[in-house]
Amino acid sequence: MKKIVILILFILTFYLFVSDIMVKGLEIPEDAIRIRVVPNSNSEYDQNIKTKVKNKLQSNMYDLLKDAKDSTEAERIINNNLNKIDNDINKLLIKEKYNKDYLLNYGYNYFPEKEYKGVTYKEGYYKSLMVTLGEGKGDNWWCVLFPPLCLIEEDNTEYKSLVKEILDKFE
């Protein structure tokens, strides 16, 4: 019985320690560069266009930033490639027969509060690459572009709880 109590205390301590590290790991660094796509509306069509723009941007930005060492270098790369980014978005929207205007902006843009995996990210103005489609009144998508947390989000790996596995062995 004493061994079980010690094991449970060890597991709880370990779980709290790992949980704290995981939550801190979800914090956005001060010098991060975000990315945001705001669709014209919440219609199925506009949300679909938002997703296509998001996917194109993620792919292009990964290619551009994969070797960037820090946010200063990432910012330089983004600024040097704004015309290319704009042309790629424009080509995609023409291909999709999207007949509304869009705005591409790199600078400090407004982000609403967002809760993700139990962590609340505060609203505010953040350095970001932002695409607003049409009137920009639909539900947006945003993520951290650099460091490339968006790529982590796309990872479909399923993580198991070590604590749950250990406790399952004692049932």
Q: How many helices and strands (H and E) does the chain possess?
A: 6, 6
**Predicted model pTM:** 0.72
pLDDT averaged over every residue in the chain: 81
Q: State residue 154's pLDDT score.
A: 41
Q: How confident is the model at residue 8 (pLDDT cuts 50, 70, 90)?
A: low
Q: State residue 3's pLDDT score.
A: 64
Task: Classify 94 as helix, strand or coil.
Answer: helix
Residues in the chain, how many?
A: 171
Closest CA to 140 of 130, 128, 127, 150: 130
CA distance 11 to 166: 8
Average pLDDT over residues 45-56: 97
Q: State residue 27's pLDDT score.
A: 79
Could you tell me the residue ranges of all domains in the chain?
Answer: 2-24+159-169, 31-153
The pLDDT of residue 19 is above 60? no
